[in-house]
């Protein structure tokens, strides 16, 4: 591995996912992992579903973006599959992998008033 890749790998755990900095332990699809979770409440994100479709009237949702070390999950989540975060079920809207990190975009779509 190159020196740069070694530095990036070291920074993932010691800086970005460091529990004393940004990292928190969460249960991701049954695996306890140190990760960073951000709630994504932007208007653009609220207005779209997976595949770029407009949100049908009456739907709303909870949106998360999770950054986690690729090796901490048993498999890379596929778009459209179910994914649990601390026991709550979401749908994978997108998942990208870059230099040992996964960025997983999740949505939990609900009817207004529940169902």
- The pLDDT tens digits of the residues spanning 6-62 come to 787 777 877 888 888 889 999 999 999 999 998 765 445 555 554 544 455 555 678
- What pTM value is reported for the model? 0.77
- The pLDDT tens digits of the residues spanning 53-98 come to 445 555 567 889 999 999 999 999 999 999 999 999 999 999 999 9
- Find out whether 65 and 37 touch, Cβ atoms under 8 Å: yes
Those residues whose C-beta lies under 8 Å from the C-beta of residue 27, and which sit 6 or more positions away, are 33, 84, 85, 86, 87
Those residues whose C-beta lies under 8 Å from the C-beta of residue 45, and which sit 6 or more positions away, are 63
H-type alpha helices, the chain: 3-11, 43-46
């Amino acid at each position: 591995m190159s020196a740069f890749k070694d530095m990036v790998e070291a920074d993932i755990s010691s800086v970005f996912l460091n529990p004393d900095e940004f990292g928190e332990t969460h249960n991701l699809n049954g695996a306890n992992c140190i990760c960073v979770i951000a709630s994504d409440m932007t208007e653009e994100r609220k207005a779209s579903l997976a595949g770029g479709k407009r949100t049908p009237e009456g739907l709303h949702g909870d949106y998360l973006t999770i950054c986690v070390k690729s090796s901490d999950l048993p498999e890379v989540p596929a778009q459209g599959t179910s994914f649990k975060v601390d026991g709550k079920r979401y749908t994978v809207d997108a998942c990208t992998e870059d230099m040992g990190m996964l960025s997983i975009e999740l949505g939990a779509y609900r009817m207004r008033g529940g169902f």
